[in-house]
Structure formats: structure tokens, C-alpha cells
Homo-oligomer: A and B are copies of this chain.
């Protein structure tokens, strides 16, 4: 299976950044460049911002061209690869396979059958077998991680702190199962537990349940509590918090958002803090005392 079995992955040499949408890819590119490292962007057409991509050496690409990517990144001298930025789930016609991808497809489809951890560790393995090393965006730019403490001007009430503690305890209990690590707690009642649907859809569900009076609590009550999965591969799978998370929490009528510090990427913290203040929500990075996450 391996093309270049003998090559030992190394942190030396230029950094390949596979860029989705949003500003995060450029935060990472800037951090690497500041550290004196050459950066090569592999910008995904339709997702990455063309104006900002232009500032760095780059190649435009589409999803699914693994063979082309392996060849091109190798030619650029890259061994380390970062995946970063938003990817709206691609329609099938957007995926353009090449021969390498086709040959790997049965294996990739097999990976989709398991949980997310299984999928990601499988993809990591495929890259490693081809001589590449996946590097976490936050290893290059630690400043993109959720810090400890408040992000905006509001802070959790005593009641909210009770909900946060309850949420962390529940996440700790479910941590050994490969499921999305987010819950919503209001007045110590568990309103929702995230699994395959993802955080945004879970928040939309709370908004629906409130609208239909299936959940009856005072307005502006409850906390979204989010942590990294235990055993989660942080190189490729840190959740990220963006303006859509604030919007979802606002529509769900919550009081705020608590994130285990270091367990999520925060795209544009100033913009998010401002959005949270406007929505009258607190955002806090908390230390997780309950587990070894």
C-alpha cells in the first residue's frame, strides 16, 4: 500500500495546508510564515477565499484527487500536512476522483461505516502510508484554541455554573463512547445529547422543542457544554466554534456556551465575542476537572 515506505515523516521543510473556507487557514498560514516556515496552500475550489489564497504559493484543487495531492505535495517538498477550514458537506458531483483515490475508495468507504474517530484515524493512516504526517492546525498556531476564561463580557450565573458542572459530568460519563461531545443542560436537566447529528442540529432541536412547548423553562436558560472526545485525534478533528454556534445557541434560548479550554478551535475570537455580547450570551473556556480528556 505504501508508495514511499522508507521515508520518515519530519517536521522540517515546507508545510502543506489544505484550505477549506473561512479565515482559519490564513491564521495558520500566517503563524507558520511568522515562524519562518515556507507554506504551500492547497486551496479547495468553491471553499477557500481566492483573494487571501493569492498571498501564498498555492495550488487550486478539488476534493477527491488524492493521487494528485500526494504527487504535488511531494514535489513541493512537503511532508507535514494541515487540514483546516470549513467544508460544507460536498455534493457527490463535486468530488473528482483520480486513480489513486479510486483504488483507495473501498477502504475509504469502509472507514465511513465506523464512528468519526475510526474514519479519521483511517485517513491519517492512509496519509502516513504515503509518507505524509498530519499536523494539527493548533500545533502550528496554538492561539486558535479556545482559551480558559471569558471570551465576551457576560459571565455565567451560579445556576449556569451548576449546569456546566452537570454537563461536564455527563460528557465524562459518555466520553469512552465515540460520540459527539456536546450536551445542553438547563436547570440541571439534560435537554439534549449530541451524537451523529452534530452540534448545530442539536441546537436547532432545542429551539424546536421550545417552540412546541415540549421544553418549558424560563427564556435565556441553559448552557451548551462542549468538550473534545476522549481519544479524539486532535490533529484532524478538533471541533470549531464559529458565529453559527452563537446563532444556534441564541435561537435555542440558552444563557451561554461553555467549552473545555483547548478542546475547540475558535475562528476569529473577537468577532465571536462581539456576536455573543450582542446575543446576550456568555462564552467561557472551562477547565475539565472530571476526566483525563
Cβ-defined contact, B113 with A214, below 8 A: no
Known: A192-B197, A196-B209. A187 touches B114 (CB 8 A): yes
A174: interface (CB < 8 Å): yes
- Which partner residue on chain B sits nearest A196 by CB separation? B191
B contact residues around A166 at 8 Å (CB): 177
* In the complex, A290 has a CB within 8 A of chain B: no
Interface string of A209-232 (1 = CB under 8 A from B): 100011111100000000000000
* A273 CB, min distance to chain B CBs, angstroms: 29
**Contact, CB under 8 Å: A193 / B195:** yes
Taken together as a complex, chains A and B put the C-alpha atoms of A187 and B214 apart, in Å, by 31
Whether A216 lies near B173 (C-beta < 8 A) is: no
Q: Is the pair B89, A189 in contact by a Cβ cutoff of 8 Å?
A: no
Question: Across the interface, which residues of B come within 8 angstroms of A173, CB to CB?
Answer: 173-174, 176-177
Whether the Cβ atoms of B113 and A217 lie closer than 8 Å is: yes
Interface centre among A183, A192, A197, A198 (most CB of B within 10 A): A197
Q: Is the CB of A195 within 8 A of B187?
A: no
Decide: A216 and B179 in contact? CB cutoff 8 A: no
Determine the residue in chain B with the shortest Cβ distance to A176. Answer: B173
Interface string of A255-277 (1 = CB under 8 A from B): 00000000000000000000000
Alpha-carbon distance between A205 and B194 when the two chains are bound, in angstroms: 12
Q: Contacts A192-B195, A196-B215 given; 19 further ones with Cβ under 8 A?
A: A89-B213, A113-B216, A118-B189, A166-B177, A169-B177, A170-B174, A173-B176, A177-B190, A178-B189, A178-B190, A183-B195, A191-B196, A192-B196, A192-B197, A196-B214, A197-B205, A197-B209, A197-B214, A205-B205
